[in-house]
Structure 1
């Protein structure tokens, strides 16, 4: 009989622990590079992104979701960022999107139809809608990865609970080569805002403002 995923995981884990293979990963909960990274859950980035960014176990707090999207300022992603800063010593934030992201042009209607095909009933969807939950908005993605990253950067920079000395950067990674583009310069943004606070509401952090 074929083993299921959980049985396979536990079998491997027993050997992993018995052979003390965990010793090479021993560290503590505080990020050595004092960074919090928000990135996508894409399978291509599991090992590629840390290697491409020269990150080892213990270097950074890595927060993942679909598309590296911050859809609203008081959700779990921002909460994780604030915990990383105030409790774990992070002093820099990087949002890393990637080309070929499944959230690009995501069709929320398509997801809803697939949910219905898997047994979610119309009455459930109607109840959610009548409760004020905007499923089409909640399930939407972005038009392009640059737009998605920059929007997440904006939300973080303007968040009332984020310290005003925390640089928030935006990057895009190629999921095949690991090549990185720095599209939002958090250092430059802080310098600009320090010299002219009115710039906080302007697009000085877009690619043209990158060093």
Structure 2
């Protein structure tokens, strides 16, 4: 029997689909939340915030940064998917906040893997709270987002599971 790198997840999906109960779920954010957070696998955003499938639009990327793509998704979410509030939630011990900048990441990848990534922007910043404040301002002042959209920042602690509101 041939195996491939995805047999485990495709097999798990077969089990999941056997009792699938989410058919007919509306595509809107039932609790009106747009969440921007990191792609870090230590974060379970639904459980951490007491949410269920369908409650929020969750946007994940390295560092939980508000990039141009995130802003595009937030505009679509605000007008088409019933998002009425946005929480930007980076986390403690984030690799993207532990380096001095993109140059350091490019050099690390080049040195360890021989790949030149300088054509990419990773949005690293070792001033995590400064980066969060910057990202919140990008959302709050985006000309296409509703002027009265509630926007807050929080920090998720990967060691305790606690979320601390840091800018509301």
* Alpha-carbon displacement from aligned partner over 1:106-148 (angstroms, at most 9, x marks no partner): 2433432324664546xx95xx5xxxxxx5xx33411232222
2:129 corresponds to which residue? 146
Q: TM-score, normalised by structure 2?
A: 0.86
Partners of 1:145 and 1:172 within 8 A in 2 = no
- The structure showing larger relative contact order (alpha-carbon pairs under 8 Å, at least 6 residues apart) is 2
Deviation at 1:177, TM superposition (A): 1.4
Residues 25 and 62 from structure 1, CA distance in 2 versus in 1: closer, same or farther, beyond 3 angstroms? farther
2:103 corresponds to which residue? 109
In the aligned structure 2, how far is the partner of 1:111 from the partner of 1:3? 34
Please provide the CA RMSD for this pair: 2.4
In the aligned structure 2, how far is the partner of 1:39 from the partner of 1:139? 15
Residues 140 and 166 from structure 1, CA distance in 2 versus in 1: closer, same or farther, beyond 3 angstroms? closer
2:77 corresponds to which residue? 84
**1:19-168 aligned within 5 A:** 19-20=18-19, 22-23=20-21, 27-45=25-43, 47=44, 49-71=45-67, 75-106=68-99, 107-113=101-107, 114-115=109-110, 118-120=113-115, 138-168=121-151
Deviation at 1:150, TM superposition (A): 1.3
In the aligned structure 1, how far is the partner of 2:70 from the partner of 2:135? 10
Gaps of at least 5 residues in structure 2 are none
